[in-house]
Structure formats: C-alpha cells, structure tokens
Amino acid sequence: MYGRLSSVMFPIAALLFIGAIMWGYQEHQEKNAILIKAENQYQRAFHDLTNHMGRLQDELSQTLAVSSVSQGAQRKGLVKVWRLTGDAQKEVNQLPLAMLPFNKTGDFLSRISDFSYRTSVRDLTKQPLSESEIKTMKSLYAKAVDINKDLGKIQDSVLNDHLRWTDVEVAMAGKDEPHNNTIIDGFKAVDKKIGSYPENDWGPSMMSAKRVRSVKMLSGSDTTPDDVKRKAEQFLSVTKGVGPVQGVQVTENGQKTDLPSYTASVQGAGGETIQLDYTRKGGELLWYMDPRPVQTRKLDFAAARTQASQFLQRHGYKDMTPVSYDEYDHVAVFTFVGLRDNVRIYPDKVTVRVALDNGEAVGLQATDHVFAPKTLPNMTPKISKDEAQKALHSDFRVDSYNLAVIENEENKDVLCHEFTGTVNGGKYRIYINADTGVEETVESIPETVRALLK
C-alpha cells in the first residue's frame, strides 16, 4: 500500500519541485531583467547629463565669444543655453538622487535656465546685454567648467570601475550612515561646491523674474495667535453657516523667515483636519483647505459658479470675475481675477474650490490676492482696440474682448488688449500690449473653461 502511494506521490512531488525551480528561475530572470532595464535607464540619464553639461559649457563659451553687437547670435546662444539647462534638469530628475542633498545643484540649474530664457526673449537690439549680465555669463562659464571637471571624474569612475546606479539606489535606501559609494560621494561633492559659490548678479531680468513675497509688502500691525484664532473662527462660521466654531488651534510658522505666518487648524465633522494659513503681519488669509471627501455631484456648472461668487462676496472679496474653471473628484475649481474700472487684473487672483454635493466652499487660495501689486501701469491704452486687432491672425475670429493687466515674460505688469476667439479649431486668449502693439502672450483655453465664456 505504501509502495503504491509513494509511486503516485513521488512523481507529483517531483513535478512540484521542478515547477518550483522553474518558477523561481523565471522570477529571478524577470527580476534581473527589471534591474538591467533600470540600470540602463540610469546609465543613459547620467551620460546624457554629462553630455548636456559639456554642451552647456560650450554654448556659454561661444555666446561670450561673439561680438556685443551680434544680438542675433547672442539670442541663439542664450536659447540653446536655456534648452540645454532644461535637458540637464530632466536628466538629474531621472537619477536615483532624491534622497541626496542635491537641491543646490537643482536651484543653480533653475537659475541659469531662468536667466537665459528671460534674457533671450527680450528685444536685445533695444535692451542689449548689460555689463553685469556679461559678467554673470562669464561667471557661469567658469562654474560650468569647474562642475564638468567633477562630473568627468564621476564618469571616469563609473566607466573604469563598472559602477552600477542600482547600487546607489540600494545604498540610499539603507538606513546606515554614511553611505560609502563613489557616485554618492561625487554628487555630494558637486552639490557642496555649488553651494560654496558666491551668488551671481543675475541682472534686471531676474530681479523681476521672481517676486519675493515678504512682510514688507504687507500693511497693518502684527497679529497674535488669539487674533488669528478669532479670525479663523469667524471665517469658518461664515463658510459653514453655523454658530461659533470651537476647538481651533493656532501654531506659528517661519519666525525667522521673510514671511512669518500662523496656521489655524480644527477637526472637521468627518475627522479631517481643516487648516487656514494667515500672515503674521496684517493677519491676511493666504489659504484655506477643508479636505473632506466629496462622494457625489448634485450641482451643475452654473450653480457651482454662483456658490463660488457668493462665497467670495461673503468674505469681502469684491469686484472679481471668474476666468478659469476645472473639475475633479466632484469638486469645481474656479479662478477669479480682480476688476478695476472694467479692466481685468490677472496678478490679483483667488482660486475657490466648491464641493458639488452641497455647494460648500472647501478651499481658497488667496496668496496672489494678498500680494497683488498695489501700483498698476497706466490704465489708458495708447493703442486702440482696432489697431491692436490688426496684430491678430487673419483667420482669428474674435468672440469677446477685454482690457487686462497681465505679467509679461519679464514679470512686469503691462496693460493689454485681451482678445478671446477661435482659430484652427482651437479657442485662445491673445494679449496685445496696449502701449506697443506687440503680442505679449497667447493662452490656449481648454474645454472646461469654455463654459465660462458662454
């Protein structure tokens, strides 16, 4: 009996054993294939990075070599620098460096990209490169040479010692410090060196490129945590349509930064944490978020827009008009901009999130409104609407028109003629400078926004 049973079970066990071996071998092969694919992607990204950085160095050198009166060549060189910097940033993002302190390198590349782009888009025949900008480019070239030397050393080690990027990933995932890895040490050294460089004078184009938001732009006196608590309670009471709100907690943020603020938080009915951020100076509301889940949609677009407008009115945001709309997870998102004498002020904007189950506002982003420019450009256009319209494509069909203040490529506020219309089957907003007649920018209008334009 046992012999008969073993004669049956032995082949089955053997088959199972062989099957387990084959399954394990297949799993091993698949794992190796994934690792090889990941390694190949990392190697390609790294060698592309070194190539782009080398070409970036060459382009800076060639741009500096051309005559100061060759604005066309300078523009082409700056555009190439911008493009190569963008490529280098993409390659950095594809490498397993997320856990490394590599932020100084990323910021350095970002600043070069912004500098080259904003310098190239302006009219260099009217506003040529200044002495300080030439000096900045020379400094960038010297730094690029220095950085490329270090990247070259890393590349030599990778090639000569057959180093693997997947080992970097494993090392970074480990909890033990320090990480003993040639690639990790090399990139840390690069980032440390970039952090030691003196700050460049980025010129007038970059001075306006990033508007620093600080307490100096705000009015009013400093508020206390108790002041913010009362403000938050009142805001929530009006928003929720209920009596006094209890349980608001306030914490202070960024005491030693350019923008100290307070965060007020309270537990919602569903257990979620509702938060509001206020500036310490003036007690201005920067944003509000109620993360409660919205499971159903009961309101249509028109009803949601009405709810958003009424929410803004109740909280004192007057003279604003909706210009953008989106929708996700049963939440409608409207962007409103300020109106002054029927001129749209795009730098002065707020975003409102409306839950489509009951019309309650569950979010507000008002930072741009708080730091909106206090001084606007001349609101009287030098060029008429008809003159500005001549700059449009001959096939562009105008559906609506407004005067608007926008930020141009150099982040300067300019008055524009805003034409909304269609061409080649698409809908666009085109902004023509009301002083020069030059096209400032073109904005494609997605399908969701078009409901606002009807």
What pLDDT, in 10s, does the model give residues 88-117?
877 777 776 654 555 567 667 777 877 787
Predicted confidence at residue 34, as pLDDT, reads: 62
Nearest to 205 by CA among 89, 139, 125, 127: 127
Predicted confidence at residue 401, as pLDDT, reads: 94
Predicted confidence at residue 175, as pLDDT, reads: 46
Residues 6+ apart with CB under 8 A from 74: 63, 66, 124, 129
Nearest to 349 by CA among 386, 317, 377, 379: 317
Q: Where are the domains of the chain?
A: 18-207, 225-370, 385-453
Predicted confidence at residue 177, as pLDDT, reads: 47
CATH topology of domain 385-453: Nuclear Transport Factor 2; Chain: A, (3.10.450)
Q: What is the DSSP letter of 432?
A: E
* Whole-number Å distance between alpha carbons of 454 and 449: 10
Is there a contact between 440 and 408 (Cβ–Cβ < 8 Å)?
yes
Q: What is the DSSP letter of 130?
A: P
Cα 18 to the chain's mean position, in Å? 54
Is there a contact between 228 and 278 (Cβ–Cβ < 8 Å)?
yes
Predicted confidence at residue 208, as pLDDT, reads: 39
Is there a contact between 384 and 396 (Cβ–Cβ < 8 Å)?
no
Q: What is the DSSP letter of 216?
A: G
Q: How far is CA 73 from CA 50, 58, 64, 66, 131, in A?
A: 25, 14, 10, 7, 17
Which ranges of the chain have pLDDT less than 70?
Answer: 1-35, 37-38, 69, 96-104, 106-107, 121-123, 165-166, 168-184, 193-216, 254-258, 447-454
* Whole-number Å distance between alpha carbons of 317 and 314: 8
Q: How far is CA 450 from CA 202, 299, 323, 421, 453, in A?
A: 39, 18, 9, 11, 5
Label residue 275 exposed, middle or buried (CB < 10 Å: 0-12, 13-18, 19+).
middle
* Whole-number Å distance between alpha carbons of 439 and 67: 29
Predicted confidence at residue 205, as pLDDT, reads: 40
Residues 6+ apart with CB under 8 A from 25: none
Predicted confidence at residue 227, as pLDDT, reads: 93
Pairing type for strands 273-279 and 261-267 reads antiparallel
Cα dihedral angle (17, 19, 23, 25), rounded to 10 degrees? 70
Predicted confidence at residue 202, as pLDDT, reads: 47
Q: How far is CA 220 from CA 216, 217, 279, in A?
A: 10, 10, 11
pLDDT tens for each residue of 262-299:
889 998 877 888 999 998 888 889 889 888 888 899 99
| pTM summary value | 0.59
**Which parts of 66-130 fold into alpha helices (H)?**
71-94, 103-120
Cβ–Cβ contacts within 10 Å for residue 137, how many? 25
- Label residues 232-269 b or e (16+ Cβ within 10 Å = b): bbebbeebeeeeebeebebeeeeeeeebbbbbbbbeee
